[in-house]
Structure 1
Amino acid sequence: MTNTALIIVDVQRGFDDPVWGRRNNPDAEANIAALLDSWDGPLVYVRHDSTKPGSPLAPGGEGNRFKPELDRATPDLVFGKKVNSAFHGEVDLHAWLTNRGINDVVLAGIQTNMCVETTARVGGNLGYRVKVVLDATFTFDLEDLTADQLAAATATNLRGGGFAEIVSTKDITGG
């Protein structure tokens, strides 16, 4: 899978803060760990560096650190971003991928309907073949929708809009 990169989006300790509310998919971290344990291609970790005052994801705080599940692998690239898409961060991700001949990306991380979905949409717009490992993501209830409803809507948006293929951890790991 050398022309495929695994991009782990915003798997940070700050998302354990109760301020976010009820989350879905309690198996997400275990599935992310399984992806990392089986991955043999380029690996990218992206971190959300929030500019919102008091955010659990503020740079320099404990919540900005990656969750311990990510310690099991050594990424080829690590960078921060202040917006939803990993393609609009401190590093030109598109150039990094292009320079390595990478045409396919596999996405996992937090939040399903925010940064993962936005990264998938931008990646699809840029011409990458994108796979979103839905069971290796999670999100939170928002307004009048549950986290599960939001995840289902993300899957429908990405698949129906032609931005990404929705897959499972087992589809990627073969397990």
Structure 2
Amino acid sequence: MSRSALIVIDVQKSFLSRPYWDEAALPRYRDKQLALIAGARARGLPVIYILHEDGDGDFSAASGLVTPMDWMPASPDACFTKHVHNAFTDTGLQAWLDARGIRHLIISGIRTEQCCETTTRVASDLGYRVDFVSEATLTFAMTHPLSGRVYSADDIVARTELVLSGRFATLRSVDDTLAALDQQETSHA
């Protein structure tokens, strides 16, 4: 039984109609996300999709957009719907993981600094060991509400890495994540 799982957060159609959606950033992210999913599957890890549902707009159930993006592989091992920024509160995710003895999470998905970071922090506080794969996360430029300064997606990713590293998660690339999983298997054999 695998003691690790890949969590893929909010890779859903709801984002496609948001004003900040940046189609130019998608290809690099999509390639990394798909490589991480394929690598996890090849190693027998469960792949869990998390979807976000709230409000009356693009993230409401009635919108029909709270479904994985078309390029996402079908048939995750589990899929949970959240209504807050982390994937644990009122979703059943923790019980699902605990029932399978999973204590190591690999985090990926959309909005690096929002739902991916928040899920990472909560997972760490719950005692899970967490790898944060920022190259398999996606976010968008933001404007500071007081200063007007524009933070690029790269700025936001760097800030997220800074605050998570060594405190809530280990930062890894896709390749490093998969190599670490292979090393774990070798050391347990």
TM-score, reference length from structure 2: 0.82
2:68 to 57, 66, 69: 66
Gaps of 5+ in 1: none
Deviation at 1:110, TM superposition (A): 0.6
Q: Distance in 2 between matches of 1:88 and 1:118?
A: 11
AA at the equivalent of 2:158: A
The reply to whether residue 47 of structure 1 matches residue 47 of structure 2 is: no
1:20 aligns with 20
Structure 2 letter corresponding to 1:57:
F
Matched, 1:146 2:119: no
Q: Check the 8 A contact 1:33/1:70 in 2, yes or no.
A: yes
- Kindly state the Cα deviation for residue 22 of structure 1 after the two structures are TM-superposed: 4.5
Q: Does 1:169 align with 2:174?
A: yes
Matched, 1:158 2:159: no
Q: Are 2:132 and 1:128 equivalent residues in the alignment? A: no
Deviations 1:47-69 (A, max 9, x none): 00022x32x22213243221123
Which AA in structure 2 matches 1:123?
A
Identical-residue share of aligned pairs (%): 34
Change (3 A) 1:172 1:24: farther
C-alpha change, 1:106 and 1:96, in structure 2 (3 Å) is: same
CA RMSD in angstroms, aligned pairs only: 1.9
Mapped to 2, the partners of 1:29 and 1:62 lie a distance apart of: 22
Residue in 1 aligned with 2:111?
111
The alpha carbon displacement at 1:100 in A equals 0.8
What one-letter code is carried by the residue in structure 2 that aligns with 1:79?
F
Which structure has the larger Rg? 2
Q: Alpha-carbon deviations, 1:117-144, whole Å to 9, x = none?
A: 0000000111111011110001111223
After TM superposition, where is structure 1 displaced by more than 6 Å over at least 4 residues in a row?
Answer: none
Alignment of 1:75-94 (within 5 A): 75-89=76-90, 91-94=91-94
Question: Residues 165, 63 of structure 1: CA spacing in aligned structure 2 closer, same or farther, 3 A cutoff?
Answer: same
Q: TM-score, normalised by structure 1?
A: 0.88
Query: How big is the shift at 1:113?
Result: 0.2
For the 8 Å contact 2:80–2:92, the answer to whether it is kept is: no
